[in-house]
Amino acid sequence: MNKKYYPYVLIAPSVLFLLLFFVYPFLEVFVQAFTSSDGQVGFSNFENIFTDYNFLPSLKNTLLLALVVVPVQLCMAIGMSLMISKMKKGRDTVLYILTIPLGVSDLAAGIIWLAILDQNGFLNSFLFSIGIIDQPESWLNYQNPIIIFAAVVVAEIWRATAILLVILVSGIGLIPKEYYEAAEIFGANSWVRLWKVTLPLLRPSLQTALILRTLLAFEVFAVVMLLGGSNMPVLMGETFNWAFNYQDTGAASAYAVVILALSIVFTLFYLRVLRVPKGARI
Amino acid sequence: MSDLSYDEILEKEVREANRKKKMWRWLFLSSVAFLVSWILFPIYLLAVNSLSSADVVNGWPKSFLPEFDMESLSFFMEYYGVLNALKNSLIAALFTMVIAIGLGTPAGYALARFDFRGKETFRMLILLTRAFPMPLLALPLAVIFINVGLDDSLFGLSLVHTALALPFSVLITSSLFLGIPVELEEAAWVLGCNRWQAFMKVVMPLALPGLTASAVFAFVISWNEVFAAAVLTVNNQTLTAFLVQSLSTSPVEVKFAGGLILILPAILFLFVVRKYLFSMWGIANR
Amino acid sequence: MTTITVENIKKSFGDADILKSVSLDIKDQEFTVLLGPSGCGKSTLLRIIAGLESQDSGIIKIGDRVVSHLPPRERNVAMVFQNYAVFPHMTVFENIAFGLRMKKAPEKKIKENVERTAALMHIDHLLKRYSGQLSGGQRQRVAVARALAVEPDVLLMDEPLSNLDALLRLQMRAELKSVLEASKTTTVYVTHDQVEAMSLADRIAVMNSGRIDQYDVPDEIYSNPATEYVGSFIGNPPMNFISPDYQVGTIPAGATQLGIRPEDFNVSKEARDNYWPITVLTREKLGSHQQLSAELNGQLFRVNIPNEIEIESGNTLYLMPKEDKKRWYTEGGKIIL
């Protein structure tokens, strides 16, 4: 066989697979979203979901969640990765522990925080033992939408900061230490070094991290289901409901299209805002 | 002006500098300690719940120490459908692992060793998959799978999970092979190996630990995936699908025990491959 | 007046003593080179002077001010790094202006200084470029300009030429010398290249596993190496160290080694009184002269001889060290004056 064809033979299985299980279903989502149950092409699925009383709340909750969680996580991850980069002894252990949530699904994270925030949970037991409450308090009920939201925020921060951390730690590892030393010699204190050296040089990593994390925020649903149940609808959860509980693939696909559209908009936004000028890379 | 001599001022300055250093050190260590317990403590609490009897789990107030009672765990194991779900999760994850590595490794090798037309397009296709919420693709696939008889099958599910894991597998293996000097392979060719022999005798042994890591990664992706699993499986539920679909019906101790069972293997596996976690992301970064 | 005083600086990493009580007095406007092989502690000493690393004990003074407890930014030093550390996300102008901006210098002064130093380093046409668009040599010029622009008390340079190719290095060396002579800044320069050290330095501190063996002007270092180590590190090929068994005439008390440079022999093709008959092992023609390796009863000699002497390997040659070039060393390798 001609050597020229080697690489094509090697990538062919992956390409075929991705065409079949990524490109094709991706197009099919649109087809199904724009095909009504009687086979007509049109917006009837979208009309269905837009008029559903859960659509606007789920859109609002999803966006609001991303808006609150992602910036907090970004700041935390930057702080944590700087901390890690300054460590010598025990660095690997701490890093491993801080990245444990990478192996925890949002379902499991939801269960963990349910154990804490539940009516019979550890938070209430703790508050009881220090005398703040005298009987189990039900925090996660429909009367406390803000507490439910806060609980989801905390669980999400616990679960998904690790992915940002890993990307930023490896990004920081790519910055030669001489840049910091030069900045230090020429008079920059640690705060200035963070803003003038670390963050600008970290831009490509920040971009990747933000894109991945924001998309993951749009995909959140198991945590919310566990902590909020039906009291806090989110887009992915509604998609699941339409697909699984109402068996309406068209409407579920329409939701999927909405999520995809949001993902694309945010990806483009980050690519634009955090782009690095030509020749200004490490 | 003060009457202090230069030496006294200096001594004061040095003392001040040392005090500041100590304070920073203290602040630093306590934030490390805080963050570590912020991650570990919730997991510990889940373990406490899982290792306590149902009465205690539903009781009030709770003890922060486990009573090491296996009632919840054994109840969970005997709960209808759990064992089957556990087995299904394992099978789907193993399928995913094998397919993702089998397809991804050759592609990763091609990216690392060859320059060819369309290389950048291929790389874009790979990266593109990460700009979309992939689990959503389970929706149209559910319909397609019914038509081809893959509905409610673990194989079908693992195909979707492979779509999630394959991009990682390609990027990780390509970075792995890039890290193995091509000169080693060339030396083997000169010494009489053909391309395949050189790959098996020289590259493979060097790449094996990294390949294992990427296999583990694929396993964990499948093991943890919730949405596609819940949409695609009905009778052959995986553990995640089982837990999601029975959220409102199953007793709390089943949820907690299930959570622990879900978390443990992932944590263990990540521990085994922790060394590779960063090289993966470091390169997947670009 | 910017002198630098290094007093009993000690530093160890784990079990390894990198610096074993080093002291150094650098005069105002002096160009001092720290010279030694890799691992001798020269870079660590420079970084301790800069404040990038902290000493275990000892004191650093710049002028009359003790600075050893201060962070780098409070020492008013500038530094040129081995791989330049030109910030990739800033233009050349912003790179050179960086130090002045940190000091909150007025915009007018910043512009003035940047333009002056850029012109001095011949990079005034590159001010709008990013570092990624520059060659290695240009980056190195930016690094020097950035250091000069802040008008530091002390200029520190860590192997600044080692990443350039041979030709460029020669050119930059000459250019650096004239620029730094004009700037009259007290400079500490680290290198492992003895030619660089010889050509640039007012004084050279030769370092040997954590100590300074000799701190003197280049001529003295070459002709009167304070230790056997200095003699064998400086000079190419290094000084010969010969056991006194071969020696005719008076030997100073306590001397165990005779040190003699390869070019400091009287050479003859015929046997003469008091000349050593050596057997030539190899001959290398080096253009300006030829270099021999030779041997007498197991003692190895390195000899430089003029091109006119015809000699083949295997031949015998007769040598005698020139009387005024003989240096004597003790058991411990110290020179006897």
Q: What CATH number does residue B183 fall under? A: 1.10.3720.10
The answer to whether position B56 is within a domain reads: no
B102 and B46 housed in the same domain: no
The answer to whether position B203 is within a domain reads: yes
pLDDT in tens, C19-51: 999 999 999 999 999 999 988 999 999 999 999
The answer to whether position A14 is within a domain reads: no
The answer to whether position A94 is within a domain reads: yes
B85 and B207 housed in the same domain: yes
B136 and B211 housed in the same domain: yes
The answer to whether position B59 is within a domain reads: no
pLDDT at C234: 92
pLDDT band of B1, cuts 50, 70, 90 = very low
Mean pLDDT of chain C: 91
B26/C336: higher pLDDT: B26
Question: For chain B, what is the domain count?
Answer: 2
The answer to whether position B97 is within a domain reads: yes
Mean pLDDT of chain A: 87
The answer to whether position A182 is within a domain reads: yes
* B277 secondary structure, DSSP code: H
pLDDT at B179: 84
pLDDT in tens, B230-270: 888 888 889 898 888 887 777 888 888 888 888 988 888 88
Note whether B10 contacts C66, CB cutoff 8 Å: yes
pLDDT at C218: 95
B233 and B179 housed in the same domain: yes
Q: What CATH number does residue A110 fall under? A: 1.10.3720.10
**3-42 in B: which are within 8 Å (CB) of A?**
28, 31-32, 35-36, 38-40, 42
The answer to whether position A26 is within a domain reads: no
The answer to whether position A11 is within a domain reads: no
**43-102 in C: which are within 8 Å (CB) of B?**
66, 69-70
Task: Tell me the CA end-to-end span of chain B in Å, nearest whole number.
Answer: 58
3-state secondary structure chain C: CCCEEEEEEEEEECCEEEEEEEEEEECCCCEEEEECCCCCCHHHHHHHHHCCCCCCEEEEEECCEECCCCCHHHCCEEEECCCCCCCCCCEHHHHHHHHHHHCCCCHHHHHHHHHHHHHHCCCHHHCCCEHHHCCHHHHHHHHHHHHHHCCCCEEEEECCCCCCCHHHHHHHHHHHHHHHHHHCCEEEEEECCHHHHHHHCCEEEEEECCEEEEEECHHHHHHCCCEHHHHHHCCCCCCEEECHHHCCCCCCCCEEEEEECCCCEEEECCCCCCCEEEEEEEEEECCCCEEEEEEECCEEEEEEECCCCCCCCCCEEEEEECHHHCEEEECCCEEEC
The answer to whether position B57 is within a domain reads: no
B19 and B93 housed in the same domain: no
Tell me the range of B136-140, B217-221, C218-222, C254-258 where mean pLDDT is highest: C218-222
Of B60, B102, B133, the CB nearest to A259: B133
pLDDT in tens, C97-149: 999 999 899 999 999 999 999 999 999 999 999 988 899 899 999 999 999 99
The answer to whether position B190 is within a domain reads: yes
The answer to whether position A6 is within a domain reads: no
- For residue B75, the distance in angstroms to the closest alpha carbon of chain A comes to 17
Domain assignment of residue A262, given as a range: 55-273
Q: A81-107: string of b/e by CB count within 10 Å (b at 16+)?
A: bbbbbeeeeeeeebbebbbbbbbbbbb
Question: For chain A, what is the domain count?
Answer: 1
Note whether B129 contacts A22, CB cutoff 8 Å: yes
- For residue A209, the distance in angstroms to the closest alpha carbon of chain C comes to 20
pLDDT at C247: 66
B42 and B173 housed in the same domain: no
- For residue B9, the distance in angstroms to the closest alpha carbon of chain A comes to 23
B45 and B129 housed in the same domain: no
pLDDT at B284: 44
Cα–Cα distance, A211 to A229 (Å, whole number): 27
pLDDT in tens, A134-156: 777 777 777 788 889 999 999 99
Could you give all domains of chain C from N- to C-terminal order, each with its CATH number?
Answer: 4-233 (3.40.50.300), 240-336 (2.40.50.140)
**11-40 in B: which are within 8 Å (CB) of C?**
13-14, 17-18
Burial class (CB in 10 A: 0-12, 13-18, 19+), C331: exposed
The answer to whether position A15 is within a domain reads: no
pLDDT in tens, B27-65: 999 999 999 999 999 999 988 888 887 777 777 777 777
pLDDT at A127: 83
Note whether C99 contacts A187, CB cutoff 8 Å: yes
The answer to whether position A282 is within a domain reads: no
Q: Is the pLDDT of residue B3 over 70?
A: no
Residue C20's nearest CA partner among C3, C38, C45, C1 is: C45
Cα–Cα distance, B232 to A273 (Å, whole number): 38
pLDDT in tens, B124-166: 888 778 777 778 888 888 888 888 888 888 999 999 999 989 9
Interface test with A, best of B26, B53, B137 (most A CBs within 10 A): B137
Strand runs labelled E in A152-192: none
B91 and B15 housed in the same domain: no
Cα–Cα distance, B47 to B41 (Å, whole number): 10
The answer to whether position B152 is within a domain reads: yes
Residue with tokens 């609150």: A68
Domain assignment of residue B32, given as a range: 6-50
pLDDT at B286: 39
The answer to whether position B65 is within a domain reads: no
pLDDT at B285: 41
Q: Which residues contact A164 (CB under 8 A, 6 or more apart)?
A: A73, A74, A76, A77, A209, A213
Q: What is the mean pLDDT of each run of 10 residues along chain A (282 residues)?
A: 83 92 89 83 86 90 93 94 88 89 88 86 82 78 85 92 89 89 92 92 87 87 86 89 85 90 89 76 66
pLDDT in tens, B72-86: 777 777 777 788 898
